[in-house]
Structure 1
Amino acid sequence: MYWVFTFPTTHLALKFDQVAKEENRDVKLIPLPRKVGASCGFCGKVTDKEEIDRLIEMCDKYSIEFENIYLIPEDKKKKPEVYI
């Protein structure tokens, strides 16, 4: 399983990715899974649950607005859940 941060715009998704790299955070920018939605088309993938709080703090610090954080289950038959 993994988590994804979703964003209202592509610009914010790219800013999230850039700042996360500068802050040495373990994040990867990926296409937004269809089951999650179709907001900007990109999301930040996180595989370490402990990174989530640090990334939320990073978003607050750098004024990066995100929409939601979803938990994506390994079982593709299960629907993603809103984590935050």
Structure 2
Amino acid sequence: MKEYIALFFTHSGAIKFQRFSKKNNIDCELMPVPRKLSSNCGVCARFNFDGNINDLINEEIEQIYEIINDAYKLIYEEK
């Protein structure tokens, strides 16, 4: 299972993602954005997911990073 951090444009986007995750049995925790990363709202979702990450992307998500050995690899960015 891979581990990710999603950054959002707004707090409400993060909360909506958490609800979506819970409904779809995805382990998800809201937390402050790590200092290494920037965010508009300051809240991110850390989650584990095995499927296609594109299935989770919506208009609320600013960026998604895969966490690899405590480092962050950008895998999605809203253009």
> So what's the TM-score if we normalise by structure 2?
0.72
Unaligned runs of 5+ in 1: none
Q: Partner amino acid for 2:73?
A: E
Cα drift, residue 15 of structure 1: 1.1
Q: Which residue of 2 aligns with 1:43?
A: 44
CA RMSD of aligned residues (A): 2.2
Give yes or no for contact 1:68–1:82 (8 Å, CA) kept in 2: yes
| 1:18-73: CA deviation from partner (whole Å, max 9, x where unpaired) | 121122222221211111113211111123343634423xx4xxxx5201111233
Q: Which residue of 1 aligns with 2:25?
A: 24
Unaligned runs of 5+ in 2: none
Q: Which residue of 2 aligns with 1:81?
A: 73
Q: How many residue pairs align between the two structures?
A: 75
Larger radius of gyration: 1
Q: Partner amino acid for 1:15?
A: K
Cα distance in structure 2, aligned partners of 1:49 and 1:24: 12
Deviation >3 Å, runs of 4+? none
Choose the corresponding residue for 1:65, options 57, 60, 64.
Answer: 60
Q: Cα gap change, 1:49/1:33 in structure 2, threshold over 3 Å: closer, same or farther? A: farther
